[in-house]
Amino acid sequence: MRLTVFGATGGIGQEIVRQALTAGHKVTAVVRDPARLTVTGEGLEVFRADVLDPEALRPAVAGRDAVLSGLGARNRADAARGVATELTRGVLRAMDAEGTRRLLVVSAGPVGPQPADSPLLDRAMLGVVDRVLRDVYTDLTAMEAELAASATDWTSVRPPRLTDKPLTGDYRAVVGGFPRSGRTIARADVAHAMLGMIDDRGTVKQGVGVAY
């Protein structure tokens, strides 16, 4: 497949690029600073662009089978400014202009519905995290609203706390919900899940919770 990856220099983005190349896909990595992209390999195209400029992004998404995005706020100040929403809006406009349909993005577990039978401790922890990271989740909720209003075949992948542990390929995924007591997942496994959902029609226009 021909894939485009936004946020390709981030933790999840670089994993998407690495795993996609290993699987034999052609990958266009959209970056602002090519020096920050440490992944190399046959089939990789590095595309330098300002993600806030939809016109500049059109060549990066034209004719692609899918677009995967690890874009998001790097800190709470970015989140307060709605960075994830703003950046994703630019990607959506470029995709709409080129007629590219499939889009998978990274969101966060607390944005979606939680299991009705979540243990009391999990619910208490979620409440604390929500208060601390409220700006982040507000931004991601607005980002998902942009997805829902778009013409794309989108999927929002919602992980809990991220780690830098190695790829396992062993995790739980719940379409329209979240795994019970799912507290962590490695960035490598989030990337693995996103790549595996590209052709899964059951995840289209859905949020998918992923966790160990």
Q: Please name the residue that has the structure tokens 């959506």.
A: 92
Residue 155 pLDDT level (bands cut at 50, 70, 90): very high
Span 159-185, pLDDT tens digits: 999 999 999 999 999 999 999 999 999
Span 13-32, pLDDT tens digits: 999 999 999 999 999 999 99
Span 75-107, pLDDT tens digits: 777 777 889 999 999 999 999 999 999 999 999
Query: For all residues of the chain together, what is the average pLDDT?
Result: 92
Q: Look up residue 165 and give its DSSP letter.
A: P
For 76, the token pair is: 């709470």
Q: Residue 165's pLDDT is what?
A: 97
Residue 118 pLDDT level (bands cut at 50, 70, 90): confident
CA angle 204, 12, 93 (to 5 degrees): 50
Query: Dihedral (C-alpha) 23, 26, 29, 35: value to the nearest 10 degrees?
Result: 80
Annotate 75-88 with three-state secondary structure. CHHHHHCCHHHHHH
Asked if 16 contacts 194 with a C-beta cutoff of 8 angstroms, the reply is yes
Q: Please name the residue that has the structure tokens 């990066």.
A: 60
Q: Residue 133's pLDDT is what?
A: 72
| Nearest Cα to Cα of residue 103 among 3, 187, 210 | 3
CATH number of the domain at 26, please.
Answer: 3.40.50.720
Question: What is the number of domains present in the chain?
Answer: 1
Structural domain of residue 171, as residue ranges?
2-211
